[in-house]
Structure 1
Amino acid sequence: MKVSILILAHNEAANLPSCLAALTWCDDILVIDSGSTDDSVAIAQAHGCRVMHRPFDNFAGQRNFGLDEGGFKHDWILHLDADEVVTPAFLTTLEALQPTEALDAWRVPFKTMLFGKWLRHAGMWPAYQVRLGHAKRLRFVQVGHGQREALPTERVGDFPEALLHYSFSHGLKRWLDKHVRYAADEAAEMTANPSQPDALKTALFGSDATSRRRAVKALAGRMPLFWRPFARFFYIYIVRRGFLDGRAGLAYAFMLGTYEAMTAILAFEAAGRMGSNRMPPPETAA
């Protein structure tokens, strides 16, 4: 399969060289830049990429803009972030993939990297996102802090090879800063959609890993507030055997527990159960 590539970037000068170095085989790369103030645009152009500019609203909006306005050479688009790297095995599988009218897109697994190590257990392997799809038939919708495909399940296949995801390439502080924003987005989503009636059934017997993972997240939203960060840590470190990933697994489990705590407290506030946090008006002087 021949593909064009769409990359989202914002101040990614540290990551773009590695991302683009693994894409020398592609003859059509479009970078959607959302106002970088570093050398991201210059690096992209030096590698022969086309660059378009759009202020960031959300991931779905950026990807859909690229699909609508990108003018791609090829019908099939591989969607990347600048901190993701295509491996030789991924490329070999992609080149052998045969397009079909039966499918509009493929779910792609990711290998999360921390401290130079693949988080095989703590990283929830295999976790999938739809990242390969037809330019005219795949569109995204924003859910929480991420995007999902607007396609029926039967129109999406599973791609067998993984991308490498260097989530922490800007340092752990930036990851934590970013996840404060993500926690607010996810809390808003949980408040707007507080329950899924079949979540337990889907979590246990769902037909694919993505639906099971989403159902587990919905179940977590029903847990008592102060249990959730401990449950998340326990699930990642013990149930998923994150301890086998060494210090990287311990750090990641602790970070996800912290993220769960932020999400829970923001959802609690959004639901109105904490009362008003606003400062009362000053008393009128006598």
Structure 2
Amino acid sequence: MANTSCLRALALLSIVLLHCPLHSAAPSKRIIYRLTDCTAEQLQHLPKLSAIFELSAVTCNISMLPSAYFRRFSALTALEVRESGLTNIDDNALNGLDQLQWLSLAWNYITIVKVWATEPLKALHMLDLEGNAIRTLNAESFSCYPNLQYLSLAANMLERIDSDAFTQLPHLKHLNLAHNRLSVIESSSFRGMQRLAHLSLQHNGIEHVEAESFETNTHLRSLCLDDNKLQDLEFLRSKPLKRLLHLNLSHNQVETLDVLATGEWAVMDLDVSYNRLEEVQTDTFGGLEGLMVSCERRE
């Protein structure tokens, strides 16, 4: 299941965080820099900027990224500015990063997701904004990242997802919204993401999921809704959800699982533990012929 740890593991495949002073590695045409406790000025004085392939700045003092800040890093494919006090990013701060594939701005103080480049960053396929202070998402938030496949907004302060916020991410496969403050999932929240396969919504305050919330997510295979406040599971009647392989509904307030008794489900891994189930009938899981794991413990 897609979650914060899974996304972080994928990120570490792209760039390894070494807690050490300024360090570079050859070959000469693919330089990698990993820095800790640095400043924004030091980044601008690195040698051979046009040959840097990966750049990681962790626990540095970088509160602002001004316009075209990385323009001279023309070969950059992986960029990380993590735990560095980042609060302000200019609208054009990422200009010139045409080859950027992986971007992490995790654990800073970013409050809004904006268009941070004049032209779309078409090579970018992974964006990590975990651990910031983002409260809302709108239709323009991701308009410059049309080919994203992995997106984490876990551990933010998300309270609202505007209509069509993700419609410009048709290739997104993994979306992590865990540990936020969402209370309702609207029918338009995930509209247009036909390739979405893994969705993490655990540890929010979700009380209601509208009936057509997943109508366009026909490739969804993993859905995490644990640690919320759900009582009504009628949204599971949505046809695309019949194709789920992994479904976690644990630690909610569910009293009945009648919705699972009808229809043919593909679910192999189901967790409904720690709910308010009074009684489970023999035919409750009648539509789950492929079920391998089922936990019906009452809270």
Task: Establish whether TM, by shorter chain, passes 0.5.
Answer: no
Return the structure number with greater helix share. 1
- Structure with the greater relative contact order (CA < 8 A, sep ≥ 6): 1 or 2? 1
TM-score (norm. length: structure 2): 0.27
- Normalized against structure 1, the TM-score is what? 0.28
